[in-house]
Amino acid sequence: MLSSFHKINAWLRWTMFLPVLCLLLLPFPAAADQPAPKEGILALNAALLDAMKRADQLGYAGRYALLEPVVRDTFDLAFMGMKATGKYWEGLSKEQRAQYLTTYTEWSIANYAGNFNGYSGEKFELVSESTPEQGIVTVVSKLIQQNDVPYTFQYLLRSV
């Protein structure tokens, strides 16, 4: 049986082929009094770690409920969903777009709830945050396994 982290690794490799992850643009506030872009990633990392640590106690539905507000706040799911459909977005009716975005959002949250489903000593580490360039900031985070094997996440955040 695969450990929960190996399941996460397999899931991450599979999702790398999704166009949305090639264009992972998360919103960050442009106002000076708003938190830095890395704060959203730190909140996501904390929620994922909490879901992993309490995976058995929460079950899938509990992990979904825990992660839903954080994923909705961190990711610009409407923008990502629109970009994932590519040229087909223009051909969808208003109702089809709404249904698609609802499904896309639920699917995104479900993937996190389903794949971050156990804990065996992993920890997150914030590696870097770039200076804004053309309204885009890159935040690099690592998920480090107990055996010190890191998995790197690069988030592109855009000013909203």
Q: What is the pLDDT of residue 135?
A: 86
Q: For residue 70, is pLDDT > 50?
A: yes
Record the tokens describing residue 125, joined without a space: 């580490």
Which range (22-31, 62-71, 113-122) has the least confidence?
22-31
Which range (7-16, 43-52, 62-71, 94-103) has the least confidence?
7-16
Which range (9-18, 72-81, 148-157) has the least confidence?
9-18
Residues 105-131, mean pLDDT to the nearest whole number: 95
Q: What is the DSSP string of 55-118?
A: HHHHHHHHHHHHHHHHHHHHS-HHHHHHHHHGGGGGGS-HHHHHHHHHHHHHHHHHHHHHHS--
Q: How far apart are the C-alpha atoms of 160 and 152, rounded to whole Å?
A: 25
Tell me the whole-structure pTM to 2 decimals. Answer: 0.77
Q: What is the pLDDT of residue 24?
A: 46
Q: How far apart are the C-alpha atoms of 140 and 61, rounded to whole Å?
A: 29
Compute how many other C-beta atoms are within 10 angstroms of the C-beta atom of residue 160.
12
Q: How far apart are the C-alpha atoms of 22 and 102, rounded to whole Å?
A: 21
Residues 59-69, mean pLDDT to the nearest whole number: 98
